[in-house]
Amino acid sequence: MHIVQTIVSRGTIVSSHPLYISLGFKTKIHKVFNRDHMSKQRYVVIGAGHAGGRAVEAMRMAGFEGDIVLVGAEQHLPYERPPLSKEVLQARPGYEFPFIRPQEYYKEQNVELRLGIAATSISSAERLVTLADGEKLSFDKLLLTTGGSVRDLTIPGVGHMGVHYLRTLEDSLAIEAALADAKDVIVIGGGFIGLEVAASARQRGCNVKVLEISNRLLGRGVPPSVSDYFLNLHQSHNVDVRLNTGVKSIERGDHLSGVVTSSGDVMPADLIVIGIGIVPETKLAEQTGLKIDNGIVVNEFCQTSDPLIFAAGDVTNHYNPLVGRHIRLEAWQCAQNMAIAAAKIMCGDKTPYAEVPWMWSDQFDSNLQVAGMPETWDNIVPRGDLASGKFTGFVLQDGKITGAISINQPRDLRLVRRMMDTGKSYTADELTDESISLRELSKR
Ligand SMILES: Cc1cc2nc3c(=O)[nH]c(=O)nc-3n(C[C@H](O)[C@H](O)[C@H](O)COP(=O)(O)OP(=O)(O)OC[C@H]3O[C@@H](n4cnc5c(N)ncnc54)[C@H](O)[C@@H]3O)c2cc1C
């Protein structure tokens, strides 16, 4: 075992980063897998991100005593991604990066790790996974937690040094290192990740522009009034937000020089971060012949079109009984709890994964939380005044809350999630009336 000397992420060397060193990243010398106990079952998990990490843990907690192999293309132990656009970029002193479990845990729990190596094919007929180094792993049941990959921006100049995407720890450390010297930062994409990066870069003292191709921030995932709230928030922190602004090319002289917008404006930048979404990482599943439709299609038991192959997390288009349709979520809660549900189901549990969708975002001093997945965010029932910075809004359908959104009201949203869980009916009048506490309503 040795400390990794050089990590290259999209052209930027980040191995000397203090956080990187303090994390003590290590390569693992893998034993050749030796299957001693032929009588035992073997579960293989492909994708050692948040979902994969939680799944192997849940398999052991569910009492599974067979072999577990966790295969991950990244070289790291499973970790959570939310801090990558927040605490890591803000270089918060003393911040401890959230690996799901330390290395010893996997040893103690007898979970075989294959890290830094991708699975390249699955044979469902032979129940065999092949890895990039040629190793073959037989499986009795397989879980796919392959997540998503950044959506590429296909314009000239994206490959220049100084242009970054953000998905992995290396990406985040590379951006963090670049922020230390950057003066002018351009963020392409005004979605959750783009806006969190913009806020972090501004907090580091950079001049920040956000270029968003549509006419509002955060797209259709929030009501227009909440888009406006975040526009005002960023503008009040002197982030220069340009709506209706596409990008034609990224230019470079001796150094990165800037972007040319669709209207021909040239904007200087010494650091560019692209955040235009992700695409589900379905290549393996597709090649295996599993049903794919905007992700790996699974039922409420996390089961793919092959009953012995399961999937969880960002990569899935899963049936959520509480929403009443298939949905694809890119959120921490779903990655964690769906993975746990899938692991338990693989071990014999009969409980479906059914949970009110939930996610959050932190930008400057504002906390946004979104629950549910309504078809549309039109006709919001408001509780509180958005302009005051404390607000909760509801979408009602036949008296049931199908969506809720809160700004700086995390406690409200916790109660509302409970109310949504029960499926009880509420009137717009009682939800709007702040003299009636949500706690009271949630107990009804
Ligand atoms: C910067 C950032 C900030 C975020 N902030 C928030 C937030 O504030 N709130 C929130 O709710 N959510 C947030 N999220 C979303 C949340 O982190 C994701 O929903 C979650 O990480 C999804 O977990 P996953 O395990 O399904 O997929 P991933 O985390 O993408 O993990 C998939 C893993 O599978 C590996 N893999 C893929 N293909 C193969 C293969 N063939 N062989 C081996 N391994 C493979 C990948 O390398 C990766 O490590 C954020 C995400 C990012 C990137």
Residues 99 and 106: their CA atoms lie apart, in Å, by 12
Whole-number pLDDT of residue 253: 74
Whole-number pLDDT of residue 31: 32
Are 256 and 161 in contact by the 8 Å Cβ rule? The answer is yes
Whole-number pLDDT of residue 15: 38
Considering only CA atoms, give the Rg of the chain.
23
pTM of the entire predicted model: 0.91
Task: Please name every residue paired with 42 in a beta bridge, in sequence order, or none if there are none.
Answer: 67
Residues 132 and 120: their CA atoms lie apart, in Å, by 6
What pLDDT digit, counting tens, does each position of 309-361 carry? Answer: 999 999 999 999 999 999 999 999 999 999 999 999 999 999 999 999 999 99
Three-class DSSP category at 337:
helix
Question: How many percent of the chain have pLDDT more than 70?
Answer: 91
Q: Which of 9, 50, 143 to mutate to test the pocket of ligand 1 (most atoms within 8 A of CB)?
A: 50
330 touches ligand 1 (CB under 6 Å): yes
Residues 317 and 329: their CA atoms lie apart, in Å, by 8
Whole-number pLDDT of residue 279: 98
Query: Ligand 1 centre from 385 Cα, in Å?
Result: 34
Query: Ligand 1 centre from 314 Cα, in Å?
Result: 7
- Write the CB contacts of 23 (distance below 8 Å, at least 6 apart in sequence): 97, 99
Q: Which of 131, 290, 332 to mutate to test the pocket of ligand 1 (most atoms within 8 A of CB)?
A: 332
82 touches ligand 1 (CB under 6 Å): yes
Are 392 and 406 in contact by the 8 Å Cβ rule? The answer is yes
From the list 409, 361, 417, 363, the residue with the least C-alpha distance to 385 is 409
84 touches ligand 1 (CB under 6 Å): yes
Under the banding of pLDDT at 50, 70 and 90, the label for residue 96 is confident
73 touches ligand 1 (CB under 6 Å): yes
Residues 421 and 186: their CA atoms lie apart, in Å, by 40
From the list 303, 30, 281, the residue with the least C-alpha distance to 142 is 303
Are 419 and 443 in contact by the 8 Å Cβ rule? The answer is no
Task: Please name every residue paired with 394 in a beta bridge, in sequence order, or none if there are none.
Answer: 381, 404
Residues 61 and 71: their CA atoms lie apart, in Å, by 19
